[in-house]
């Protein structure tokens, strides 16, 4: 399979670029939105002509198990799509280390991404990795507070907070900070926590007891470090069993606190005041991560200034997480490397090669004549 892309013409020479499938693509996907992220990776890898080995997260294997049947029904030849279940330290590690897999696309924790990068280095594999996040939601005093509150709450509590682009740090201008904290706390107390099968549920059970314990450890850390707990922080009433945590809001969170700096990946949000634009940018950038950012202001010039200054791969102005799937998805700093989405995915799963054809005398110097 060869994809033609660009052509270049000069009076003496014609050049054109062809794209070849990179080969076998290893796709390692997370547990938080398993079927969506599996298909996000599968479609462009197959469209690029690669054969695929998919290793889904061991905590959420069931949805991936539907894919072989779907692939067969679609008429995909045997061996083009391959599914391997297993824990990351065994199945995932084998996929990364195999010399016959030149591309690895991984979505997951930053520490796992670092391990993958080290294991892939001896083979100089191409990597695309969307890793952790600790994304800021900056709310200036001139923002529409009703809409900003709605967005901030949705941004951290949807998907139980188990989302890489969660706006888990809300930074509010000091003049609106007290009002915003009150709004967030009151709304969080009313968020419905319950069984995932209940259509009225807004926050369901966290994915696994190990992860539930990890999230609770951050709640305890926030309290120990002096953050002010204004909502949640414990198991909701009426849910004696299961991995349930009420929507949790911490106020007066300082940048040195673990809950400000580290990814929690649960229904926990930190609220921090700032005095001016410069401090807002400094606080937004005061983590190792740089995946997403959300900015709320009616001042268009300021919106652009802050968007350019905040270290994030993706920024939303006065909106939340609505994106064109053709645009580049990914982060900076410890949030990963590479971009996927639309043509960016095709770039990753193919290798570009240039072919040059002379149309006349190219005037080669005659050494040794």
Q: Which of 137, 164, 270, 340 is catalytic?
A: 164
Q: Is 50 a catalytic residue?
A: no
Q: Are 272 and 172 in contact (CB under 8 A)?
A: yes
What is the rounded distance in angstroms from the CA atom of residue 116 to the CA atom of residue 106? 9
Residues with Cβ within 8 Å of residue 154, at least 6 apart in sequence:
320
Among 259, 160, 257, 164, which Cα is nearest to 212's? 160
Q: How many residues does the chain have?
A: 369
Q: Within 10 A of 24 (CB to CB), how many other CB atoms are there?
A: 18
Residues with Cβ within 8 Å of residue 98, at least 6 apart in sequence:
26
What is the rounded distance in angstroms from the CA atom of residue 80 to the CA atom of residue 108? 24
Cα-trace Rg, the chain: 24
Q: Which of 130, 263, 311, 340 is catalytic?
A: 130
**Biggest CA pair distance of the chain:** 93
Q: Is 130 a catalytic residue?
A: yes
91 Cα distance to chain centroid = 22
What is the rounded distance in angstroms from the CA atom of residue 52 to the CA atom of residue 23? 9
Q: Are 48 and 346 in contact (CB under 8 A)?
A: yes
Among 254, 274, 295, 271, which Cα is nearest to 181's? 271
- What DSSP line would sit under 190-226, residue for residue? H--B--TTSTT-SB---S-HHHHHHHHHHHHHHHHTT
Q: What is the dihedral of CA 276, 280, 283, 287, to 10 degrees?
A: -160
Which residues participate in catalysis according to the annotation? 130, 164
């Amino acid at each position: 399979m060869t994809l033609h892309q660009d052509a270049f013409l000069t009076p003496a020479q014609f050049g054109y670029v062809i794209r070849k499938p990179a080969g076998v693509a290893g796709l390692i996907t997370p547990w938080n939105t398993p079927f969506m992220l599996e298909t996000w990776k599968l479609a462009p890898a197959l469209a690029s002509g690669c054969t695929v080995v998919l290793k889904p997260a061991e905590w959420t294997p069931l949805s991936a198990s539907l894919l072989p049947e779907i692939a067969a029904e679609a008429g995909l030849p045997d061996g083009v799509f391959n599914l391997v279940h297993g824990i990351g330290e065994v199945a995932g590690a084998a996929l990364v280390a195999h010399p016959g897999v030149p591309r690895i696309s991984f979505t997951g924790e930053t520490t796992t991404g670092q391990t993958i990068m080290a294991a892939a280095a001896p083979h100089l594999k191409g990597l695309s990795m969307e890793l952790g996040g600790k994304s800021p939601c900056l709310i200036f005093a001139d923002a529409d507070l009703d809409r900003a509150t709605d967005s901030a709450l949705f941004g951290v509590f949807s998907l139980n907070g188990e989302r890489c682009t969660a706006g888990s740090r809300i930074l509010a201008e000091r003049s609106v900070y007290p009002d915003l904290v009150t709004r967030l706390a009151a709304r969080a107390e009313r968020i419905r926590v319950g069984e995932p099968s209940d259509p009225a549920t807004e926050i369901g059970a966290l994915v696994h007891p190990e992860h539930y314990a990890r999230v609770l450890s951050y709640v305890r850390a926030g309290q120990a470090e002096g953050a002010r707990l204004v909502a949640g922080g414990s198991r909701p009433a009426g849910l004696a069993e299961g991995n349930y945590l009420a929507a949790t809001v911490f106020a007066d969170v300082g940048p040195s606190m673990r809950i400000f700096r580290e990814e929690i990946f649960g229904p926990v949000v930190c609220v921090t005041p700032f005095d001016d634009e410069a401090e807002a940018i400094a606080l937004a950038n005061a983590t190792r991560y740089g995946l997403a950012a959300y900015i709320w202001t009616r001042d268009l010039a300021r919106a652009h200034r802050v968007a350019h200054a905040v270290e994030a791969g993706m920024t939303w102005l006065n909106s939340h997480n609505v994106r064109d799937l053709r645009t580049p998805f990914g982060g900076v700093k410890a949030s990963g490397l590479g971009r996927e989405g639309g043509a960016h995915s095709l770039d990753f799963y193919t290798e570009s090669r240039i072919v040059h054809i002379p149309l006349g005398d190219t005037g080669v110097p005659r050494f040794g004549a």
